[in-house]
Amino acid sequence: MKFEAAKMWEGQVVDGKFPLQQWSGSSALSAVFLTEMGSERAAIKLIAADTLDANVQLVRWQQASQLTHPHLQRLFTQGRCEIEGARLLYVVKEYAEENLSEILCQRALTITETRELLQPVLDALAYLHGEGLVHGRIQPSNILAQGNQVKLSVDRVLGSGDVGDRTLLRGGYDAPELKTEPLSPAADVWSLGVTLVEVLTQRKLASDQSVSRELHVPEAVPEPFRSIARDCLQSDPKQRYTIAEIQARLRTAPPVTAPPLAPAESKPSLARLLIPVTAILLLAAVFVGPKLLSHHSESSAEHTVKTERPSAAPPPVILPSAARRANSAANTAGSGGEVAHQVVPAVPQSARNTIQGKVKVGVRVQVDPSGKVTSATLASPGPSKYFAKLALKAAQQWQFIPPQAGGQPAPSAWLLRFQFGRSGTEVFPTQERR
């Protein structure tokens, strides 16, 4: 079966429960759509039921759904379905906003970002290997951003010693021994080494290597990642690093700061950066959706400042009455409402450096008679889901002096136009007439 025309399935309902809301992409063997799982967004993957042992695949998905680790994508349910005469298997899984390959098509990661990416990936692999499992598909497209976590996909996880489907070998990402030998944790280590080099250089290693030939790690790859990659890419699986050894190497390596290997002027149309906090969060794209590699905590994501600058954030801005009156006159044509307090998201300078021109987001807020925002919706989301989310969350914390109606405070509606640029963020509030 071919999935090239799967986009035409939008609007179909799988198993009477899962609407195919938006086509996300297809490969030769599968198609992925956005769907709903209860009140939450989810993703649903469809594969042909006659291209593999369907019962075995359903059992594997069921087993993978029992895995519990903060850096593994959750699988919710699975089953069989039929769409327009095509017999399919489906698996419903945690929605991921973006994957690492979408970043790497724009730029390489920095040393700090790479370290922050690698830690949760290693934790997830250590857990899988401890459960007698092998991921088997380590590559940038399977390193995902979901909420405030970096996660690995799990819909292709197999048992250690499983042969798997050798028709699905992915060239340079697969360990050379997989042509003749079963899966092992060492195969994941090889794939991790290939991915690590690509993360730092934006270039894949040659894919036509044989068991007898070592892969050359480019000199441009900085330490400690060059030595880690070199030891991951040993042709003899027994000579490769284990996950525990990689983790130990990272712990003992001194921190190093350096610019990214990719040229600074490369087009960053998708911007995702890693910034350390407590867990990895993928930051957003300028031209494509939200977040893969950022570690910025929710509590530090916003500062109550009028215009955020890359330097230390100034104290909260409470507009003085004269400024509020001027703002009201300019923006509301005498309608009576005024801005009392505004919140603008703080964006790391490393994220700002990916912006070309301005990223504009419009948020419409409803304000009650006390001046508090009761609801906020995107009037114009702009090109980046990440910046849209930042603007939406900030808008919810604004406060207003309400207009008067009959001598009493009245509800109001405002349009807040956020403009994110390389040097800062501006917001232009306008009260809407009712």
pTM (whole model) above 0.85: no
Residues 115 and 246 in one domain: yes
Per the domain annotation, does 370 fall within a domain? Answer: yes
Q: What is the CATH number of the domain that holds 174?
A: 1.10.510.10
**Percent of the chain beyond pLDDT 90?**
45
CA distance 170 to 113: 25
Residues 125 and 201 in one domain: yes
Are 77 and 111 part of one and the same domain?
no
Same domain, 88 and 164: no
Residue 123's pLDDT is 95
pLDDT digits (tens, 9 = 90+) for 407-424: 889 999 999 999 988 888
Q: What is the pLDDT of residue 52?
A: 61
Q: Are 191 and 324 within one domain?
A: no
d(CA 206, CA 293): 26
- Is 265 part of a structural domain of the chain? no
In a domain, 275, yes or no: no
Supply the range of the domain harboring residue 173. Answer: 98-252
Number of domains in the chain: 3
Compute the mean pLDDT over every residue in the chain, rounded to the nearest whole number: 79
Q: Of the candidates 61, 94, 127, which is a domain's last residue?
A: 94
- Of 49, 65, 94, which closes a domain? 94
Alpha carbon separation from 286 to 106, 360, 418 (Å, rounded):
11, 10, 14
State the pLDDT at residue 323.
Answer: 35
Are 231 and 130 contained in the same domain? yes
Residues 424 and 307 in one domain: yes
User: Which 3-state string (H, E, C) describes the chain?
Assistant: CCCCCHHHHCCCEECCCEECCEEEEECCCEEEEEEEECCEEEEEEEEECCCCCHHHHHHHHHHHCCCCCCCECCEEEEEEEEECCEEEEEEEEECCCEEHHHHHCCCCCCHHHHHHHHHHHHHHHHHHHHCCEECCCCCHHHEEEECCEEEECCCCCEECCCCCCHHHCCHHHCCHHHHCCCCCHHHHHHHHHHHHHHHHHCCCCCCCCCCCCCCCCCCCCCCCHHHHHHHHCCCCHHHCCCHHHHHHHHHHCCCCCCCCCCCCCCCCCCCCCCCCCCCCECCCCCCCCCCCCECCCHHHCEECCCCCCCCCCCCCCECCHHHHHHHHHHHHCCCCCEEEECCEECCCHHHHCCCCCCEEEEEEEEECCCCEEEEEEEEECCCCHHHHHHHHHHHCCCEEECCEECCEECCEEEEEEEEECCCCEEEEEEEECC
pLDDT of 256 reads 60
Q: How confident is the model at residue 13 (pLDDT cuts 50, 70, 90)?
A: very high
Instruction: Name every residue whose Cβ is closer than 8 Å to that of residue 300 and which is 6 or more positions away in sequence.
Output: 277, 346
| Contact call for residues 172 and 209 (beta carbons, < 8 A) | yes
Let me know whether 156 and 203 are in one domain. yes
pLDDT-wise least confident of 32-46, 75-89, 265-279, 356-370? 265-279
pLDDT at 162: 81
Residue 169: the pLDDT is 54
Q: Write down the pLDDT at residue 164.
A: 66
Q: What is the pLDDT of residue 76?
A: 95
pLDDT of residue 171: 61
Residues 67, 105, single domain; the answer is: no
On whether residue 270 sits in a domain, the answer given is no
**Which phi and psi (to 5°) does residue 176 adopt?**
-60, -30
* 136 and 209 inside one domain: yes
Q: What is the pLDDT of residues 182-230, one digit of tens each?
A: 899 999 999 999 999 999 999 988 655 444 456 889 998 999 999 999 9
More confident residue, 262 or 367: 367
Gap between the Cα atoms of 348 and 350, Å rounded = 5
Domain boundary among 62, 94, 126: 94
368-385 pLDDT, tens per residue?
A: 999 999 999 999 888 887
**In this predicted model, what pLDDT tens digit does every residue of 78-136 receive, in sequence order?**
999 999 989 999 999 999 888 999 889 888 999 989 999 999 999 999 999 999 999 99
